[in-house]
A and B are shown apart, each in its own frame.
Chain A
Amino acid sequence: MTIFPEVARVTLRALVGRRRTVLMLLLAGVPILVGLLVRANSDGIAEVGPTLDGLVVRIILPLVALVFGTAALGSELEDGSAVHLLTKPISRTTIVLAKVAVAGTLTAALTVPSTIVTAILLAEPGADVVGITVSLGIGVFAGSYLYASIFAALSILTSRGLLLGLGYALIWEGLLAGLLPGTQVFSVREYVRGIVHLVSPSVIDSVVGNAAVPYAAIALVAALAIASYRLATYEVRGSD
């Protein structure tokens, strides 16, 4: 398993330190900006949970996870340099785990602080700030790894993983969640809400409730298994 940190280190170097990071920092800064705007105009709001759910969990978190998750392995597969990794005697599962670990950690590193700072800014006087920040922080932390693993799996399954992931986040979790409530059982956003609800029930209500944890665990394992299997049977081909 000594190869794991090495793959992770290379992935981290590839993902950090370019325009991508600046763009993602800007994205993560948006909730804080909203928090400041609200703070400038009022003493804070009562519905911190739903507001952050609409902003961070629905948009910022999936978008950041999407960019890191699909770039962690997808961009290498796309430009062909993944061959250098795939032709070495490294377990494909190890590769997937390392890539997801880095993408998820980067996502969490950007979104969790942003969530916590925004929650502190938004919370009105007398609110249970600790409960709000801890529950939302844990939820977004779990969501980072879950989204990253799913989007990494998507980027291995298809060359258009970015677009497919966007479609999933916007259409499945956004549009269909309202029209067909049953789809919420299969939505990461609901799992995040469920985890937040589990830690601190008053922050947010949830459809899946306590079942969110097993569902999220199943989704995480399934995404990692599918990604490893697909990478194990991956054929190196020329680009079209």
Chain B
Amino acid sequence: MTKKQKKMLIRILVTAALLGALLLIPEGAVDRLPLFLLYLIPYGIIGWDILKKAGKGILNRQVFDENFLMAVATIGALAIGLAKTGDFVEAVAVMLFYQIGELFQSYAVGRSRRSISDLMDIRPDYANLESDGTVSRVDPDEVPVGSVIVVNPGEKIPIDGIILEGAAALNTGALTGESLPRDVKAGDEVVSGCIDMSGVLRIRTTREFGESTVSKILDLVENASSRKSRSENFISRFARWYTPAVVFSALALAVLPPLVRILFLDASPDWGDWIYRALTFLVISCPCALVISIPLSFFAGIGGAGKAGILVKGSNYLEELARTGILVFDKTGTLTRGEFEVTAIHHSPYTEEDLLEFAALAESASSHPIALSIRKACKREIDVRRVTNVEEISGNGVLVRIDGKEVAAGNGRLMKHLGIEYKECSHPGTIVHMSVDGRYAGHIVISDTEKPTAKEAIRALRGAGVRRTVMLTGDGKAVAEDMAKRLDIPEVFSELLPGDKVAKVEELLEQKRPREILAFAGDGINDAPVLSRADLGIAMGAMGSDAAIEAADIVLMDDNPVKIASAIRISRKCMRIVYQNIAFALGVKGICLVLGALGIANMWIAVFADVGVMVLAVLNAIRALFVRNL
């Protein structure tokens, strides 16, 4: 509790005790005026700041706020007590409960604020900068690019860089929500925000602190709720006309019925009764429950998503995510790993290892992704001295001599060119045909492999209410359709250039149902135009990629596509809570307003309608923070 809150708690306790003592005075034992003065003591203790604020508000011409409502209602109640009923308890009690409610709200908001910022606690406090053989602790902001920093076990990596020396297991949980540690060794790139769990690392920084992943993420999170959702805008607009409207209806309620009674019904005006009803009206009317609980729900929802490694750039995006009906995927890097791998070897008279060794030797000088994947698949040591007479045939392949054998590796055109009969492959992917000493030696199939969780992701999306899933890719038709079939994606569009992808998304946007949202998920590397053209751009695997963080509305820190469905479920839960709170608060207040106008509800019910509803709405809003089982 803060100092302010403690002071308020003391005021509440003292007032409650005084009020209790005053209630013990038997009826009629004290005259009305001295009793009134006695009640003024607790009223003053609990309400002086409200009265002061109301007065200042009037001076600053900011009349219609909750302080004004509370001040008018309680002073009015005291006046009725003095003039008519001799009951002062209500006025003090209303003020007391109002303050209890405010205290609770400020405590609850403070708590959730802290728990959310704790979970975003990835800001490193210092960096161990190495210079001239000594290590000193400095502010991460002061570390220039290219310097060497040391990270000890238990410390956070403060700045992005490349490991020079050492190996460790990194806890990336704060960034990705992933609990499994990641092993890194010399030569690996590491991103700031990870926690070193085991070994000492020497890292050469590749960025300034301000440009590092951790700064970008913090920046993003801190600015998240600057983009307000439609619900939030609705509530703040609503609050702006709602309070004046209630004040004027209260005024009408106090004046019109008595006038009607005098002028037309020839009855006694009952001024006290109608003014009491009007005051009840004022107490009920305070819009706090809505104004506080809706932004709090979004804040908690964004915080909960952040805990799961899903960064949402604003509450408006959380709101849109919940309405996602069409999800368009980019294939490479999103559903597939984006890395080429040797997936099959066919029709070879040699063993797989031998053929791969020939291929790896033949491609040993190339840096093409295909060559890299072949070298990666070859388990044997590659001795480039065995390779002579390298002749590259541009776009088709390569001819070399290995251990005195003439080896050719390349596509079908190369085989045709050499006059060698080759076998077509039925597998989708890139095919490398091989020949040794003029005889066909089989072919190697290289393809991009799907992520192990891709299929589950598509299924989970359907479960989360996504109506259509569509895959876009620049790859050939056979590869694309094969992948779509395996992942159970009904719609696939292949052989698209980046510009075609935008056009395709525009076409799909036209087929949307009303109020439906089209989201595009990509790896953010070369699909920035599509990410921004879709209603909602989701970038994946963003650890360390600025482009993705910039272009997307929602950023998944790791590259697990299942997280998309989790994000949608988190957003749905958050929106459910928002609607519950709006309906609950407006419903209860509406009913109480009617009851108050009819004279059925007294001020006690009015206080519940105000403070009770707010407390319940705040508690409900905090639920949005819990996303563990989504």
Q: Do A and B come from one complex?
A: no
